[in-house]
Chain A
């Protein structure tokens, strides 16, 4: 047996294990992907064309998602969450997915905190954009790039 590097061995093992999932994913991304422009259009529809300020939002996503089929996502927005000042809606879009929209969360003062977490699908290495609206009419946004290595090797 010729000497093989640890990396090669690892890649092979991954290729075997992830093979099934990868096949399924290839089918998914076969469709044309959205462009950042489409994602921006989605955001504009959500904000009603209002300019969004940076900050207040923190996005917790893995830097590298080994399996794009289920990527944990946590969003926290700084807000007192009182009756007259709370986050009402949070939009999440991904710039490279077949369809840019991921989810829209609707919160109320009863939420107590503006914290949501779910698991999303990401097709390729792309930017995830989060936009939050507050009851005072403020709009905040934040972007986080995620590296997606679907096949397990390279990418």
Chain B
């Protein structure tokens, strides 16, 4: 994916605070059920896995099905106890892995 995924989370938080994280990645999420003009089935191509880690520890993950709308949007929460880095990973059907990182300062 040429386009960078969009991530929204606070730059700083208090220790123990539950923060809200929003992510969005540009992707057609082709279901594999649609047909093109010649009646040929358009092959399935979706993001099938999304994960979020904080300092290497898993926080949240999703198994996506074709029923997730194009440009998959995910909103979830995380409790932060220390400063560190959130790492986000999107896995495409074709094996392409897109990652993004964002830091948070915890006081």
Task: Report A's interface with B, CB cutoff 8 A.
Answer: 24, 27-28, 30-31, 69-71, 74, 81, 94, 97-99, 101-113, 115-122
Contacts and interface: CB of A to CB of B under 8 A. Distances in A.
A115 B70 CA distance: 21
Contacts, number: 105
Interface of B: 18-19, 31, 33-35, 54, 57-70, 72-79
A35 B64 CA distance: 20
B65 A101 contact: yes
What's the dominant secondary structure at chain A's contact region? mixed
26 contacts: A27-B35, A28-B34, A30-B35, A98-B33, A99-B66, A102-B67, A103-B62, A105-B61, A105-B62, A105-B76, A106-B61, A106-B62, A108-B59, A110-B54, A110-B57, A110-B59, A111-B78, A113-B18, A117-B74, A118-B68, A118-B74, A119-B69, A119-B72, A120-B67, A121-B69, A122-B67
